[in-house]
Structure 1
Amino acid sequence: MFERIRRRHAAEPSEMQRRHFEMWARLEGQVPPEVERMRAELQPAEPATLVDDFLPPELRVPSPAQLDGRMMPWKQPLVMNGEMVACTECGAYRDWLVLSTRDQVWLRCRTGHQQHEPRLDTAWYNRHAAPADATHATFEDCLRHLGH
């Protein structure tokens, strides 16, 4: 019995399937009138005016290309590879200024001695530095701002 039903269904579509295919063929190229009305309303009558959405110059953050470098204070001792870093001239081991410039990191002690630290890189600086709170025109202005 089921075999006869399967053969009959496989041979010809049912009346319901035939009506569905006919209805689908009639509706295929049509667009509802509401869609045409909405398309007409969406067409802008005139182009929108352009608005300058940039921040005012005093609120803009300078890009890295516009900066000669960045500095941050480092009050605690700096330990790398189990060894405490000390100033090569005066022996100070805390209260550093860490300077990042031209893909190099420099350390400056409280007395003003500077030394290049090849074990640190810009990625290390970026991980440990807080957001900049000010920009300065000269190196000395930045030193004064950080209390050195």
Structure 2
Amino acid sequence: MFHRIRRRAKGSSETERQVAEWHARMQNQVPQGFGEPTAEPGQPETAGVVDDFLPPELRVPSHDQLDGRMMPWKQPLVLDGEMVACTECGDYRDWLILSTRDEIWLRCRAGHQQQETRLDTAWYNRHAGPADATHATFEDCLRHLGH
């Protein structure tokens, strides 16, 4: 067995010979257009207008087409080492977090709302998952989220 390994290692294989021949042939070849001056910039070609690939009923509205977004937040919300509680009823969990017009609002289960200035839209975007539905009214969204 060992003499076969030594024998194979001594001579070059057919593949090595073919690679060496290919390398020698390619040595002095230059790709087409390489080193030639580029064409003067003229009128840019306009791409043809193509209809979106999704039908309208499957398109998701962009953030600028929505009045706001909201997500449930079941656990207590801790900001700057302090647990956030509702200013009216004292609830501290089961929030709805609303993001609208670059402001963040908290809504407790009892329906009290308070603005939270320690949170921003970037925080909301990091913690919110993908939207599972869009709603025409605020009340429809509250019903969808169980509030």
Q: After TM superposition, is the score higher than 0.5?
A: yes
Deviations 1:12-61, CA, capped at 9 Å, x for gaps:
xxxxxxxxxxxxxxxxxxxxxxxxxxxxxxxxxxxxx9753431111001
Distance 1:66 1:91, change over 3 A: same
Residue 98 of structure 2 aligns to a residue whose secondary structure is: strand
Aligned to 1:102: 101
Matched with 1:112 is 111
User: Which ranges of 4 or more aligned residues in structure 1 deviate by more than 6 Å?
Assistant: none
- What is aligned with 2:126? 127
Structure 1 residue matching 2:143: 3-state secondary structure: helix
> How has the CA–CA distance of structure 1 residues 90 and 63 changed in structure 2, closer, same or farther, with 3 Å as cutoff?
same
Measured on the aligned residues, the alpha-carbon RMSD in Å equals 1.3
Partner of 2:76: 77
User: Residue 125 of structure 2: SS of its match in structure 1?
Assistant: helix
Q: Distance in 1 between matches of 2:118 and 2:107?
A: 15
Aligned to 2:146: 147
SS at match of 2:123: helix
Amino acid at match of 1:117: E
Give the secondary-structure state (helix, strand or coil) at the position aligned to 1:125. Answer: helix
Unaligned runs of 5+ in 2: 1-47
Distance in 2 separating the partners of 1:69 and 1:108: 14
Instruction: Give 3-state SS (helix, strand or coil) of 1:115's partner.
Output: strand
Residue aligned with 2:109, SS: coil
Of Structure 1 and Structure 2, the greater helix share is in 1
Question: Gapped runs of 5+ residues in structure 1?
Answer: 1-48
C-alpha distance in structure 1 between counterparts of 2:80 and 2:132, whole Å:
31
Structure number with bigger Rg = 1
The residue matched to 1:73 in structure 2 has which SS?
A: strand
2-structure distance, mates of 1:53, 1:109: 40
What is the TM-score of this pair, normalised by structure 2? 0.66
TM superposition score normalised by structure 1: 0.65
**Identical-residue share of aligned pairs (%):** 86
Q: Figure out how many residues of one structure are paired with residues of the other and give that number.
A: 100
Instruction: Report SS of the residue matched to 1:58.
Output: helix
Partner of 2:137: 138
Paired residues for 1:1-148 under 5 Å = 52-148=51-147
Comparing 112-121 with 56-65, greater Cα deviation is found at: 56-65
